């Protein structure tokens, strides 16, 4: 692993596939021009809106999203994460799938979101992700990279389930990617502290691309795409407007924190 710049992209995706992909490309281009070698896109980067419309267009969104990720990774010669898009599955539902692609366009990691957001949020919104999405039944894998470190993958609501991240750290993860579309109501209280907890307890970098703003008349995302170091320090925060959080991933800092706080070596119950 070497020192490099990573970018967590922040978007306001809408129910318009072409518009979202064009916006994503602009932000990938911006990240690369700033030196990023790992670029991460948020959950629902290619489509965010009415669930019925997403299901109707699922095949089109899936095909376009995967082609886009491979094309952009090759065009900009970066490792690129697409943080979540629908992949048609059994029973008319979809998997909420994240895909990590190498600079040559090949697939490095694929993960189907396990924890589904079925919650009555106190702001009056009700979310039933399981109505349209199948839960992935496989634990996420870690991609070992001599250049970028050992990369672990998860999606949004997963961040509330620390056992998933303990699994990733046991598999050798050094960088945890948590693409999200966190609600504005829950995000204001929980987003930052959950990211810090996952970074601190696993002594890992955390890269968390995010959705922000209003996606339709009711759905609003929290924003604050972030990159955190293994001590839980926020290195970059994109705020509430579309854009980037960009920061250095440093093997020296990772080694320093793990030496100062060797908690992963002190586990009793494994």
Q: Which residues are catalytic?
A: 43, 113, 156
Q: Do the Cβ atoms of 210 and 225 come closer than 8 Å? A: yes
The span from the CA of 39 to the CA of 75, in Å, is 13
The span from the CA of 226 to the CA of 138, in Å, is 26
Q: Which of 59, 83, 35 is nearest to 181 (CA)?
A: 83
Token digits of residue 47:
């489509």
Contacts of 117 (CB under 8 A, 6+ apart): 127, 129, 156, 157
C-alpha of 100 from chain center: 10
Residue 255: CB atoms within 10 A of its CB come to 14
Q: Which of 249, 247, 251, 230 is nearest to 238 (CA)?
A: 247
User: Three-state DSSP class for 13?
Assistant: coil
Contacts of 169 (CB under 8 A, 6+ apart): 152, 202, 203, 204, 264
Q: What is the largest CA-CA distance in the chain?
A: 52
Q: Do the Cβ atoms of 118 and 127 come closer than 8 Å? A: yes
The span from the CA of 94 to the CA of 133, in Å, is 5
């Amino acid at each position: 692993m070497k020192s490099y710049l990573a970018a967590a992209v922040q978007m306001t995706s809408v129910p318009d596939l072409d518009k979202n992909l064009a916006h994503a490309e602009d932000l990938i281009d911006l990240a690369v021009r700033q030196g990023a070698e790992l670029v991460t896109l948020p959950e629902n980067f290619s489509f965010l809106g009415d669930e019925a419309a997403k299901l109707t267009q699922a095949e089109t969104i899936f095909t376009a999203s995967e082609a886009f990720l491979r094309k952009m990774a090759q065009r900009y010669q970066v490792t690129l994460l697409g943080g979540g898009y629908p992949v048609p599955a059994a029973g008319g539902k979809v998997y909420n799938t994240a895909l990590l692609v190498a600079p040559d366009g090949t697939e490095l990691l694929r993960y189907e979101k396990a924890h589904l957001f079925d919650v009555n949020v106190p702001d009056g919104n009700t979310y039933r992700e399981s109505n349209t999405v199948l839960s992935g039944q496989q634990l996420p894998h870690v991609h070992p990279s001599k250049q970028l470190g050992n990369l672990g993958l998860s999606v949004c609501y997963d961040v509330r389930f620390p056992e998933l991240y303990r699994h990733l750290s046991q598999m050798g993860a050094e960088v945890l990617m948590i693409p999200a579309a966190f609600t504005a109501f829950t995000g204001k209280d929980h987003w930052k502290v959950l990211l810090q907890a996952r970074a601190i307890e696993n002594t890992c970098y955390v890269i968390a691309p995010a959705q922000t703003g209003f996606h339709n008349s009711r759905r609003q995302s929290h924003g604050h795409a972030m990159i955190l170091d293994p001590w839980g320090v926020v290195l970059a925060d994109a705020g509430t407007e579309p854009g980037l959080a960009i920061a250095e991933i440093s093997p020296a800092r990772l080694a320093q924190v793990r030496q100062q706080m060797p908690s992963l070596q002190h586990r009793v119950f494994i």
